[in-house]
Homo-oligomer: A and B are copies of this chain.
Amino acid sequence: MAPKIEGGMSSESGEESSSSGGTSSHPIPKTTEEYRKRRDRNNQAVKKSRMKTKMKTQQMQDRVSQLLSENEELEENIKILNKELGILKDLFLAHAGNAHGVQLNEAELAQMLSEDSEINEGVNLLMSLAKGSPPKANY
């Protein structure tokens, strides 16, 4: 974009740039077929460009909808996973927690995971479970 000098000036009779001979040089006549050709081609380009913009906007709209669905689904899955974890916890406590000694030391767990660090959160959770602590943060 640019500051420009005067918007479309649309109708009005006045000046036309020059008229034909192109006295100055730039303004380009305005009655020439060359002028019309240029204009027509530009109008075409404008139309095309705007079409493109519209398409993009539409697609973006669709993308938003799509992402919203995906999000919902993911949250749904998380809910289920959390429930599963809760159940396992109960089973865990009811089974080993009371009956016999729960031989779960951190070393034992530490071995089970020789991978990345994020999983440590899982370990912590497990430790709490084994000790009968409260649920703890569940994503």
Contact = CB atoms under 8 A, between A and B. Distances in A.
A74 interface: yes
A80 interface: yes
A7 B95 CA distance: 81
A12 to B, nearest CB: 7
A36 B123 CA distance: 75
From DSSP, what is the main secondary structure of chain A's interface residues? Answer: helix
Nearest to A39: B10
A122 B80 contact: yes
Interface string A52-85: 0000010011011001101100111111111111
A119 interface: yes
A67 B57 contact: no
Interface of A: 8-13, 16, 30, 57, 60-61, 63-64, 67-68, 70-71, 74-85, 87-88, 90-92, 95-96, 104, 109, 112-113, 118-119, 121-123, 125-126, 129, 139
25 contacts: A9-B10, A9-B11, A11-B11, A11-B30, A60-B60, A64-B64, A67-B68, A67-B71, A70-B71, A71-B74, A74-B78, A77-B78, A80-B122, A83-B113, A83-B119, A84-B122, A84-B126, A87-B112, A87-B119, A87-B122, A88-B88, A88-B129, A91-B126, A95-B96, A96-B96
